[in-house]
């Protein structure tokens, strides 16, 4: 079990990052990974804070989220003899830093500038070019520093997507419980409860989250961090990723670029909760209150693409038992499910 040693969230804390990292005694050579827009946004304050506290910095801008880019950053980290990596930005920069730190056997620090999914704190990363469409085990951050003032300035669509990823834990944990009963797979009650706590917090506070403000940003950021930590405790993505994520990954294959990850997971949660016998209508209403799409048209997907993804989803991770192994969807039953939950018309 590997967990972050330090988690700090609050308004305007970017200027304190150097001091916070100094307490962890990580060494002096830092390699910072981000995109150009993020460097423009936080580069000066972050660099100043690090230099003020005795750190040397090298800033590397990353390209597409690919395995080749991970290898490039890993090589730079080795050549530069970096003591630790800092991933600054959204999912792409943090995932690349996460895998590069794993390859280079050095710690990494997660500094999210948006809250679109729980990868900001989990030990799993997703990049293109691997032999699978889903996340792989990498390295959890040694520290997470979330400046809610900066995160609150990101496009609202990103944080709303993060809410979809959180609500997905409801069906993910049920799938994990099902697998425990059917296959004897290990089931961790504590990590499952922690993931569910994050999901229910968003469901119960849907009306608070809807008008995006400082309070709602903090709620979502803390819930995403807790969710990622739950995966670290479990030693797998089981408490955070189930049949609804398989649907999202299948959509990536069937119709790349349709919606954000959390948006697809939210739609998947509606349909999978129906299969599990849960209150899918209540979940749908909460998603709508937050502002998440609940229909195929909301992610610019066609009815046929949704149906194809539903049928394909079970094949994405055959070793992972979910409700899709109990209810083997055909094209006809997938259409009935999507129609019955209002995902397609």
**In this predicted structure, what is the pLDDT of residue 129?**
66
**In this predicted structure, what is the pLDDT of residue 172?**
98
Taking the CB of residue 7, how many other CB atoms lie within 10 A of it?
17
Domain positions in the chain are: 6-151, 156-340
Residuewise pLDDT in 10s, the chain (345 residues): 778 999 999 999 999 999 999 999 999 999 999 999 999 999 999 999 999 999 999 999 998 888 899 999 999 999 999 999 999 998 889 999 999 999 999 999 999 999 988 889 988 888 776 656 667 778 889 999 999 999 999 999 999 999 999 999 999 999 999 999 999 999 999 999 999 999 998 888 887 776 677 788 888 999 999 999 999 999 899 999 999 999 999 999 999 999 999 999 999 999 999 999 999 999 999 999 999 999 999 999 999 999 999 999 999 999 999 999 999 999 999 999 999 999 999
Q: Residue 103 is encoded by which pair of tokens? A: 């390859």
Whole-angstrom distance, CA of residue 31 vs CA of residue 34:
10
Residue of 273, 329, 288, 274 whose CA lies nearest to 306: 329
Full 3-state SS string of 132-175: CCCCEECCCCCEEEEEHHHHCCCCHHHHHHHHHHHHCHHHHHHH
Whole-angstrom distance, CA of residue 30 vs CA of residue 57:
5
**In this predicted structure, what is the pLDDT of residue 131?**
59
DSSP E strands: which ranges in the chain?
6-10, 29-34, 56-61, 84-89, 108-112, 124-125, 136-137, 143-147
CATH level 3 topology of 156-340: Dehydroquinate synthase-like, alpha domain (1.20.1090)
**In this predicted structure, what is the pLDDT of residue 241?**
95
Q: Are strands 124-125 and 108-112 parallel, antiparallel or unpaired?
A: unpaired
* DSSP-derived secondary structure letter, 79: H
**In this predicted structure, what is the pLDDT of residue 284?**
96
Q: Residue 67 is encoded by which pair of tokens? A: 């395995």
CATH level 3 topology of 6-151: Rossmann fold (3.40.50)
**In this predicted structure, what is the pLDDT of residue 160?**
92
**In this predicted structure, what is the pLDDT of residue 118?**
87
Helix axes 280-290, 261-275, angle to 10 degrees: 160
Whole-angstrom distance, CA of residue 197 vs CA of residue 139:
24
Q: Residue 119 is encoded by which pair of tokens? A: 């990868």
């Amino acid at each position: 079990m590997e967990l972050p040693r330090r988690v700090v969230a609050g308004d305007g804390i970017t200027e304190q990052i150097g001091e916070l990292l100094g307490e962890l005694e990580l060494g002096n050579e830092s390699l910072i990974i981000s995109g150009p827009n993020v460097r423009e946004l936080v580069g000066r304050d972050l660099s100043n804070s690090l230099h003020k506290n005795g750190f040397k910095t090298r800033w590397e801008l990353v390209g597409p989220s690919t395995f080749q880019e991970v290898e490039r950053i890993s090589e730079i980290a080795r050549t530069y003899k970096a003591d630790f990596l800092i991933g600054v930005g959204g999912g792409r920069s943090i995932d690349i830093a996460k895998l590069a730190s794993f390859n280079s056997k050095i710690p990494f620090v997660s500094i999210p500038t948006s809250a679109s999914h729980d990868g900001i704190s989990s030990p799993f990363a997703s990049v293109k070019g691997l032999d699978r469409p889903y996340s792989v085990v990498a390295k959890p951050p040694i520290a997470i520093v979330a400046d809610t003032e900066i995160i609150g300035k990101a496009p609202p669509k990103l944080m709303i997507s993060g809410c979809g990823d959180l609500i997905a834990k409801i069906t993910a944990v049920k799938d994990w419980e099902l697998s425990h009963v059917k296959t004897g797979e290990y089931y961790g009650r504590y990590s499952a409860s922690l993931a569910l706590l994050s999901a229910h917090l968003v469901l119960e506070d849907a009306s608070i989250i809807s008008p995006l403000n400082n309070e709602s940003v903090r709620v979502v950021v803390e819930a995403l961090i807790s969710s990622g930590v739950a995966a670290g405790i479990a030693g797998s993505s089981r408490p955070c990723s189930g049949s609804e994520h398989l649907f999202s990954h299948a959509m990536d294959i069937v119709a790349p670029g349709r919606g954000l990850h959390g948006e697809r997971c939210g739609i998947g949660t509606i349909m999978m909760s129906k299969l599990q016998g849960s209150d899918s209508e209540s979940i749908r209403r909460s998603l709508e209150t937050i502002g998440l799409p609940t229909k195929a048209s909301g992610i610019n997907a066609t009815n046929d693409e949704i149906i194809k993804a539903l049928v394909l989803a079970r094949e994405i991770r055959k070793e992972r038992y979910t409700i899709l192994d109990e209810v083997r969807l055909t094209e006809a039953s997938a259409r009935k499910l999507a129609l019955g939950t209002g995902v397609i018309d």
